[in-house]
Amino acid sequence: MNLYLKNLCLIAFLLSVFLGSLFGIAQAQDGASPIQNLLQSHFKKLKRSSSKTIGPVIEAIRSSDQPEAKTVLEKWRAKELWYRKSDDLLVFVKTSDKKNYELIDIATGNVIASASKKQIKQIKPNSGVRALIDGALVFFRLGDEDEAVRLSALTSLNRDPKAVYLPIIQAAIAIEKVPELKAKMERMERLLSVQFEADTPKRVAAIESFSDDMGIDVRAALNPLLSSKVKVAMEVPTMLELARIIVPGESLKNDDGTAGIAQYYEWFSGRSPELNMASAYQLLLDAKLAPPDASVEDQKTALIANIKDGRVGGVDVDELNSQEARDRAYRSLVSNGLAPETISNEEKQAVIEEATFYAVYDEKNLAVIAAARKALKSINSKVSINRFFDLFLDAMSLASIYFLAAIGLAITFGVMRVINMAHGEFIMMGAYTGYVVQQLISNYTLSIIVAVPAAFAVTFAAGVVMERLVIRHLYNRPLETLLATFGISICLQQLAKNIFGTQARPLTAPDWLDGALIINEVVSISWIRVAIFVLGAIFFVGLLFVLNKTRFGLETRAVTQNPRMAASMGINIDRINMLTFGLGSGIAGIAGVAIGLFAKVTSELGSDYIVQSFMTVVVGGVGNIWGTLVGATLIGFLQKNIEFFNPSNTLAAQTYMIIFIIIFIQFRPRGIIALKGRAAEV
């Protein structure tokens, strides 16, 4: 009896514990947080985490307005979301030791229990699920209170657009309050619609909205819609997705199949045609529309395999050292059925001419294709016009640099008839002067303001010394002057190496010259080049004033046109020559400061501009300010246009330019604007 009572009490105790645990679990679930209840309602899908079925779960979490939603998504993506096997409670986990894990409540972040590894299970999202979670997390960043965070999220979304972001960005637009940022979001939404929208009218409308937008991201979204694959058939295809007919070795990727100006650009730039002959024949082989051709390796293998008693195909092995003997032996093997036939180039050409090569769009939606073609045609027309304008700005920038580098040489060359090969070294001296000033003055704006007159003073003095010590003794002896100034240039380069070393020295531009003047997505120009253009314009106006409105200018022009008559009128020619040479050298120094802001300051800096400076002076007209301006503009535009058609080979651009100059001076040896008097005799 006692044993019976004891067993009954034990059963009652165990039953009470079981019922108590059930009551506790039910009570715990009843008192669970809203985020826990939400996740429990989707637990089966959450547990399996399939990218095909998890979308509604992620959307439910994202749109729940629960403050813990973002944290749950982040932990889930980082594989830090677990569940307890006994009751499916979702928790975060923290390792306390090797055997025990602390379970953390997903709502409060507090430790609620501990468990062993066997009692809990990790939820591991695959790459597809993580991509969907990323989209939801972008929404939270797009809805952040900080405008900078929202802008950063939009930028990151633009770098890696995905289909899952489309509903996210649409939801973010609805709550965005800042007009500028909302406009950017709406543009991003249209870009995503171009790529991923399933509704054709909406997608076409998004494509058409970009007809006037030259953004790189727009072209990157539209161009794949017109991507195509090259195919071959023996008859002209009539399919609606036909992109163009291709002529092997000639065709370009024009939608209408016609050759335009792009053909000549590709030819000039050395680019390959869309489909060469070898690729065309390979397409025929892949389509089983042409007989296979035995390669050189195949022929060699066949000859070796059929060697018997020192002969192959009736030809002694010793005679196979010539192509004619190898061909004869191989033809013999072919006639006996021991080797595959070879196809001559003429036969290949005939097969290729009989076939029709064409491209088919990858996109099958004809409405999308038509809209993309129309939009890209409009965009490309605007891009071409703006590229021309951008090329114009680049050419004007280069012309202003050449003008600054050459104007001093034009003065000395025109007035004194001195071929100064050391002119480039005065440019180098000006750049190094700017570098030294920056070592003394840390404020870059102030240092540049000080460096310009300092460079003029240093190179003016150096030019006067050079004229007094060397040049004045070599007047009317051009060959000796050329050799002497060339030797001086070498000495100045070596002196610069001894003082400053061979390593390039920085000449840092002020902060307000950083970046570029951006007009649109295609046209931009750096602020440094804008500043050089302005500096060149100031010098042009200043020199015109000095030469036309001052006594020194009047005397200089008199010496330039007729030195004997000027001397008879009481002008000190020796003094004018000295000051003119100093002025030309000083201007070169200022040009050095300007050039040093974007070029490396080394002892060879001037050598890079001496040839262009002489060409500018010769083409424009010796001793003429207007001629120098015209010459610099002509050479700048010529060089930039040549580089545009052959961007990968700047040396070729220099070569073509020199050839043009040589031809030009054959027809106009005195330059575009020639002077009369002594300058005309050069």
Do 323 and 411 fall within a single domain? no
Which of 226-240, 488-502, 542-556 has the weakest average pLDDT?
226-240
Do 330 and 395 lie in one domain? The reply is no
Instruction: Check pLDDT > 90 for residue 461.
Output: yes
Query: Is the pLDDT assigned to residue 649 strictly greater than 80?
Result: no
Instruction: Report the residue count for the chain.
Output: 682
Residue 480 neighbours by CB distance under 10 Å: 13
Which pLDDT score is estimated for 267?
40
Residues 218 and 316 in one domain: no
Give the DSSP letter string of 122-160: E----HHHHHHHHHHHHHHHHT-S-HHHHHHHHHHHHHS
- pLDDT for 12 beyond 60: no
Q: Please give the average per-residue pLDDT across 648-662, as a whole number.
A: 72
Residue 128 lies in a domain: no
For residue 21, the tally of other CB atoms under 10 A from its CB is 12
Please give the pLDDT value at position 415.
66
Same domain, 545 and 404: yes
Residue 653 and residue 363: Cα distance in Å, rounded?
A: 40
Q: Which residue has tokens 């500096």? A: 535
Tokens in use for 494?
Answer: 């070596």
- Residue given tokens 């000006």 in the structure block: 430
Q: Decide: helix, strand or coil at residue 116.
A: strand
Confidence category of residue 432, pLDDT binned at 50, 70, 90: very high
Buried b (16+ CB within 10 A) or exposed e, 638-661: bbbbbbbebeeeeeebeebbeebb
Is residue 83 classed as helix, strand or coil in its secondary structure? strand
Residues 6+ apart with CB under 8 A from 15: none
**Which residue would you say has higher pLDDT here, 263 or 170?**
170
Q: What confidence tens digit (pLDDT) does each residue in 64-73 have?
A: 778 888 888 8
Query: Among 216-225, 252-261, 266-275, 404-413, whose mean pLDDT is lowest?
Result: 252-261
pLDDT classification of 663: cutoffs 50, 70, 90: confident
pLDDT at 426: 92
Which parts of 470-599 fold into alpha helices (H)? 478-500, 527-549, 551-561, 563-568, 573-596
Which of 225, 248, 272 finishes a domain?
225
Confidence band of 15 (pLDDT split at 50, 70, 90) = very low
Count of structural domains, the chain: 4
User: What mean pLDDT do residues 240-247 have?
Assistant: 75
- Each residue of 524-557: b (16+ CB within 10 Å) or e? ebbebbbbbbebbeebbeebeeebeeeeeeebbb
In this prediction, residue 22 carries a pLDDT of: 39
Mean pLDDT for the stretch of residues 91-96: 80
**Distance, CA of 470 to CA of 464 (rounded, Å):** 10
What does the pLDDT look like over 525-562, one tens digit per residue? 888 888 888 888 888 888 888 888 888 888 887 877 77
How far is the C-alpha of 174 from the C-alpha of 101, rounded, in Å? 42
Tell whether 316 and 458 lie within a shared domain.
no
pLDDT score for 648: 59
Residues 412, 522 share a domain:
yes
Lowest mean pLDDT among 93-97, 156-160, 262-266, 364-368: 262-266
pLDDT at 463 over 70: yes
Instruction: Pick the range with the lowest mean pLDDT from 486-490, 524-528, 618-622, 673-677.
Output: 673-677
Taking residues 64-86, what's their average pLDDT?
A: 83
- Banded model confidence at residue 63, pLDDT cuts 50, 70, 90: confident
Q: Can you give the pLDDT at residue 269?
A: 43
Give tens-digit pLDDT for 189-228.
999 998 888 889 999 999 999 888 888 888 888 888 888 8
- 205 part of a folded domain: yes
Cα separation of 404 and 540, whole Å? 9
Residue type, 520: N
Residue 638 covered by a domain: no
Q: Judge whether 99 lies within some domain.
A: no
Beta carbons of 619 and 664 less than 8 angstroms apart: yes
More confident residue, 568 or 267: 568
pLDDT of 303: 82
With a cut of 50, say whether residue 396 has pLDDT above it.
yes
Q: Are 210 and 373 in contact (CB under 8 A)?
A: no
Look at residue 443 and tell me if it is in a domain.
yes
- pLDDT of res. 250: 62
Q: Is residue 485 part of a domain?
A: yes
For residues 608-626, average pLDDT = 79
Higher-confidence position of 269 and 198: 198
In this model, does residue 21 exceed pLDDT 50?
no
| 208 and 311 in a common domain | no
Confidence of residue 115 (pLDDT cuts 50, 70, 90): confident
Q: Which two tokens stand for residue 4?
A: 């019976």
The confidence score (pLDDT) of residue 240 equals 65
Residue 270 counted as domain residue: no
The dihedral through the CA atoms of 477, 482, 483, 487 has a sign that is positive
Q: What pLDDT, on a 0 to 100 scale, did the predictor assign at position 491? A: 92
Q: Is 102 helix (H, G, I), strand (E, B) or coil?
A: strand
pLDDT of residue 450: 92
Last residue of a domain, one of 567, 585, 603: 603
- Distance separating alpha carbons of residues 511 and 442, to the nearest angstrom: 13
Shared domain for 204 and 331, answered yes or no, is no
pLDDT for res 96: 64
Mean pLDDT of 280-299: 80
pLDDT at 452 over 50: yes
**Same domain as 396, residue 337:** no
Burial degree of 84 (CB within 10 A; 0-12, 13-18, 19+): middle
Residues 428 and 333 both lie in one domain: no
At 408, the amino acid letter reads G
Residue where a domain terminates, one of 225, 251, 286: 225
Statement to judge: residues 199 and 335 lie in one domain:
no
Supply the range of the domain harboring residue 8. Answer: 1-31
Asked if residue 77 belongs to a domain, the reply is no
3-class state of residue 316 by DSSP: strand
**8 Å CB contact between 524 and 458:** no
Report d(CA 375, CA 222) in Å as an integer: 8
Predicted pLDDT of residue 97: 67
Q: What is the pLDDT of residue 300?
A: 83
Average pLDDT, the chain: 80
C-alpha R_g of the chain = 40
The per-residue pLDDT for range 504-522, each reduced to its tens digit, is: 888 888 888 888 888 877 7
pLDDT score of 674:
63
Tell me if 224 sits within 8 A of 370, measured CB to CB.
Answer: no
Q: Are 329 and 432 found together in one domain?
A: no
Name the pLDDT band for 462 (thresholds 50, 70, 90). Answer: very high
- pLDDT at 669 exceeding the cut of 80: no
Q: What is the pLDDT of residue 239?
A: 65
pLDDT-derived band of residue 235, with 50, 70 and 90 as boundaries? confident
